[in-house]
């Protein structure tokens, strides 16, 4: 692999070497060319080796996908069965958050609730007009920072029932007037149903 010939040196050590004429310049050019040729030779060999390895990887990956097809279908089907069982259990017992079954734990995580402010200016105007400055915050940025929606603070009032939420996420006064609060809405994420597998017993291959 490295058997390409070195150029004939002119009897000059490379320590402190200087090109002084066309002869020494030609030697430097020839030396560089041979080094580049050797590198190109190695690059070509490496490229062939890499191509062979990539082809082998593709072959192994194709084999793995084919070999796993039925088992992947089985895993997905059993997961659906377990998830359906968990959903029915939660429907029957709404406070349920997990169910232990032999070899696994089925976990229900209700979708998280997030307060969004698609039109913050409307909410800010409402808060100022109704004396609810506590639902606003100002960032310490000169010269006169504009107020922002204090989402965490307002969300607390939803939690304690001061404000309630309709099915479409609309927030309204829950203390009597039923006034819709402009500029904000509560969005609920998707529920999660998770199958946490325990340690598997030894099984025959």
Closest CA to 154 of 101, 130, 139: 130
158 and 142 in one domain? yes
Collect all residues with Cβ–Cβ distance below 8 Å to 2 and sequence separation of at least 6: 38, 42
Mark whether 11 and 45 lie in a shared domain.
yes
Give the pLDDT confidence of 120-176 residue by residue, as tens digits: 999 999 999 998 889 998 776 666 667 889 999 999 989 888 899 998 999 998 777
Query: Residue 201 above 90 pLDDT?
Result: no
- Do 56 and 85 fall within a single domain? no
Domain that holds residue 80: 70-108
pLDDT digits (tens, 9 = 90+) for 37-53: 999 999 999 999 999 99
pTM score: 0.57
Residues 100, 113 within the same domain: no
193 in any annotated domain: no
Q: Is 150 left (phi over 0), alpha (psi -120 to 50) or beta?
A: beta
Does some domain include residue 23?
yes
Confidence at residue 178, expressed as pLDDT on a 0 to 100 scale = 86
Query: How many independent structural domains does the chain possess?
Result: 3
């Amino acid at each position: 692999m490295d058997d390409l010939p070195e150029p004939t040196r002119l009897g000059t050590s490379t320590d402190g070497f200087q090109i002084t004429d066309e002869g020494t310049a030609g030697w430097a050019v020839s030396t560089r060319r041979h080094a580049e040729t050797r590198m190109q030779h190695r690059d070509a060999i490496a490229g062939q080796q890499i191509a062979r390895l990539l082809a082998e990887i593709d072959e192994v990956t194709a084999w793995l996908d084919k070999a796993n097809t039925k088992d992947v279908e089985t895993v997905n089907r059993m997961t659906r069965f377990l998830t359906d069982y968990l959903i029915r259990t939660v429907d029957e017992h709404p406070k349920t958050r997990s169910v232990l079954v032999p070899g696994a734990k089925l976990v229900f995580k209700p979708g998280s609730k997030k307060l969004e402010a698609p039109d913050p200016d409307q909410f800010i105007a409402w808060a100022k007009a109704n004396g609810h400055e506590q639902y606003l915050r100002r960032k310490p940025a000169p010269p006169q920072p504009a107020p922002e929606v204090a989402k965490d603070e307002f969300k607390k009032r939803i939690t304690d029932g001061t404000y309630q939420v309709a099915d479409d996420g609309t927030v309204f006064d829950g203390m009597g007037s039923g006034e819709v609060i402009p500029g904000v809405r509560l969005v609920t994420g998707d529920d999660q149903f998770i199958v946490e597998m325990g340690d598997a017993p030894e099984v025959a291959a």
